[in-house]
Amino acid sequence: MTADQRPVLVFDINETLSDTGPLHGVFEELGLPGPLAQTWLSGVLREGFALAVHGESQPFAVLGEAVARSLFAVHAPDREVEEAVRHVREGMQRLPVHPDVAPGIATLAEAGFRIVALTNGSEATAEGLLERGGVRQHFEHVLSADDAPCWKPAPEAYAWASGVWGLPLERALMIAASPWDLHGAARAGMRTVWTDRHGAPWPGYARTPDLRVSGVRELAARLCGDAVGLRA
């Protein structure tokens, strides 16, 4: 696969590159069950998707704080609500990358792939994650849907991003852990890779991804070995 044949690699951030497992500990530090972290994160996504249906958008941080306040009205934390909201926000900003991310991204960069990030979260949070993970220098762009017309998986988000990286969506490969993201990207015209770290079943209602891998290290091995022939 020559350089001009390679797709632009577009990485989602939350759960794809970031390890959200430590958020369980953040909620436990508030005296709450750890699994409420997933309830909170799912709620934030729900609100963002609902706005996207109407062609509207709000920053992840705004929605995150609003959903946390609603959650804490039902599940009382062990401190003042605004302090607990701040604790969750700061916890998101401290998340690490998965262990396989740094070696995998380095291999892809050394092979000459263009690498960008596209997240529904904030640009600052994504930048911080990639800096902590030691991979920021390999990313040509770190893009946030805060600057797009609306969140992924609305097609406008992917179309806006393709204008920034300067290639049509058909020349891009969306890499994500969330089936909803990959379904939206496929509908927009992108090829897709599912990073399935847990051996979960693929939901039958979503478009089947072009490639399924266990993480970024396996993705690098597959693409650099040209094992799947993902050409533009």
Q: Is the pLDDT of residue 229 over 70?
A: no
Residue 203 pLDDT = 96
**Is 60 exceeded by the pLDDT of residue 68?**
yes
Count of alpha carbons within 13 Å of 203, Cβ hemisphere only?
A: 9
Rounded to whole angstroms, the Cα distance separating 223 from 220 reads: 5
Residue 127 has what pLDDT? 98
The model's pTM: 0.94
Residue 225 pLDDT: 82
**Burial environment of residue 174 by CB neighbours within 10 A (0 to 12, 13 to 18, 19 or more):** buried
Read off the pLDDT band of 46 (50, 70, 90): very high
Beta carbons of 114 and 6 less than 8 angstroms apart: yes
Is the confidence at residue 57, as pLDDT, over 50? yes
Mean pLDDT of 119-147: 97
pLDDT at 226 over 90: no
Q: How many residues does the chain have?
A: 232
3 band by pLDDT with thresholds 50, 70 and 90: low
Whether residue 122 has pLDDT greater than 70: yes
Give the pLDDT score at 230: 44
